[in-house]
Amino acid sequence: MKRWTKLMVGAAAIALATAGCAGSGGTDSSNEQKAGQPRTLTVWLMNGSAPATLTDALNKEFEQKHDGVTVKYEVQEWNGIQDKLTTALASQNPPDVIELGNTQAPAFASEGVLTDLSKDVDKLNGGQWLASLKASGEWDGKQYSTPFYAANRMVIYRTDMFQQAGVTPPTSRAEWLAAIGKLKAKFGKDKQFQPLYLPGQNWYALLSFIYDEGGDIAEKSGNDFTATVDSDQAKAGLEFYKQLVDASGTTAPKDNDEQNPEQAGIYGQGKVAMMIALPWEVDTAAKNNAAIKEKTSAFPIPSRNAGETAPVFQGGSNLAVPVNSKNADLAKAYLALILSEKYQSQFAEAGMVPGASTDLSALDANPVSKAMADASKNGKSVPATPKWATIEAGQNPLKDMLTAYLTGAKDIDTATADANKALDAAFSG
């Protein structure tokens, strides 16, 4: 489920603009086929998105409810999916239901290759949708994709180290910094120990601190975005990031992110008390150290306001109906079923934040997934612009800003001003 952090909308998407795509309404195949005539609904979901037990039951129920319909369920790989979707959506015979990374959705919507679902929101359990994923599916005032599922970061920690240092999970930034100090006092004689492993370019974590200060990456006007990382609020978030780095004395590189080197592997070595991470990184850490899983729990990223959790970047997947689908009516019915409480609750049982359900009780069974669920109630998305995925996959100005400030190459005013200029250029490019 890491995949949405690596998705990009590259030059291949440009081909959509010249592919002779249809408008935004979708095709009602009931006008083309006689009642009862065999029909095939093609569904593309991504590898790892839904347990086989769920999709098997879902597809069986759908076929039973729709006489003569066969669901052609095809699991796709994230690697290469951008080009595959670009080609499929530009054709006259695309799949009928597709899964998109939430950073992909605005680009495809803006190209006119997705069906407008605005009038169907209520039928698709819209009252239960995650606000962050709903926003990523909107374009030009219309809804082109629905939430599917999501995940967000939290602070994963060693319960045994916390206990030995007399530390309890912090509920404010001040308590978090104090906990770092206590952990250093207890284990600091070990030169390999780190109370918090925090790479210099974990911009997902930075977003929480910026959001918590009341700031954001950009502000929206119509379909346009203007960067705001040079605001006082964004600077305050960046300053707190540096406070954490300095207080922890982390040896993580300041010029790379949490995947280089893989932070879960560092945590798994047993010398790190905390990391800001996604829930499945615990399993990654346990690959070479199975015992660490039993010693691990999590808490939401604390807010500067005591007793509150900081807002979090929420990544995930959306569902959409290609505009050239020959079975738009069936596709919408399929979305209604998969977004129903019956199946959304099963996503929670599988450890994901369901995109169309407010019942997260199934996530309470595991302390790590519970922390994710608690934080998810305050989730936000990156700017819903077709440009964002390219920004994220390319020379991300937020990463450059972090490295420049943390290394002292630039002061905070210069670092944020340069990042703001780079983001504005990307938004309008």
| DSSP string of 10-66, one letter each residue | -GGGHHHHTTT---SS---GGGTS-TT--EEEEEEEETTSS-HHHHHHHHHHHHHHS
Helix (H, G, I), strand (E, B) or coil at 300: coil
Residue 267 CB: number of other CB atoms within 10 A?
27
Q: What percent of the chain has pLDDT over 70?
A: 92
Under 8 Å between Cβ of 94 and 322: yes
Q: Closest by alpha carbon to 87, among 329, 317, 324?
A: 324
Under 8 Å between Cβ of 325 and 96: yes
C-alpha triplet 217, 263, 52: angle, nearest 5°: 85
pLDDT tens across 227-240, in order? 999 999 999 999 99
Check: pTM over 0.85? Answer yes or no. Answer: yes
Task: Show the beta-strand stretches assigned E in 63-125.
Answer: 69-76, 97-101
pLDDT tens across 69-128, in order? 999 999 999 888 989 999 999 999 999 999 999 988 999 999 999 999 999 999 999 999
pLDDT tens across 127-162, in order? 999 999 999 999 999 999 999 999 999 999 999 999
Residue 289 CB: number of other CB atoms within 10 A?
14
Q: What is the mean pLDDT of residues 206-218?
A: 98
pLDDT tens across 359-392, in order? 999 999 999 999 999 999 899 999 999 999 889 8
Q: What is the mean pLDDT of residues 22-48?
A: 67
Q: What is the mean pLDDT of residues 45-49?
A: 93
- Rounded Cα gap, residues 154 and 352, in angstroms: 14
What's residue 35's pLDDT?
Answer: 56
Beta bridge partners of 299: 155
Residues 6+ apart with CB under 8 A from 305: 172
Q: What is the dihedral of CA 74, 78, 79, 85, to 10 degrees?
A: 70
Residue 17 CB: number of other CB atoms within 10 A?
13
> Is residue 301 pLDDT above 90, yes or no?
yes
Under 8 Å between Cβ of 298 and 371: yes
- Rounded Cα gap, residues 392 and 386, in angstroms: 11
> Is residue 24 pLDDT above 50, yes or no?
no
CA end-to-end distance (rounded Å), the chain: 30
Q: What distance lies between CA 293 and its chain's CA centroid?
A: 24
> Is residue 5 pLDDT above 70, yes or no?
no
> Is residue 28 pLDDT above 70, yes or no?
no
Domains (range + CATH), the chain: 3-151+315-380 (3.40.190.10), 154-313+394-428 (3.40.190.10)
pLDDT tens across 219-270, in order? 999 999 999 999 999 999 999 999 999 999 999 999 999 999 999 999 999 9
> Is residue 19 pLDDT above 80, yes or no?
no
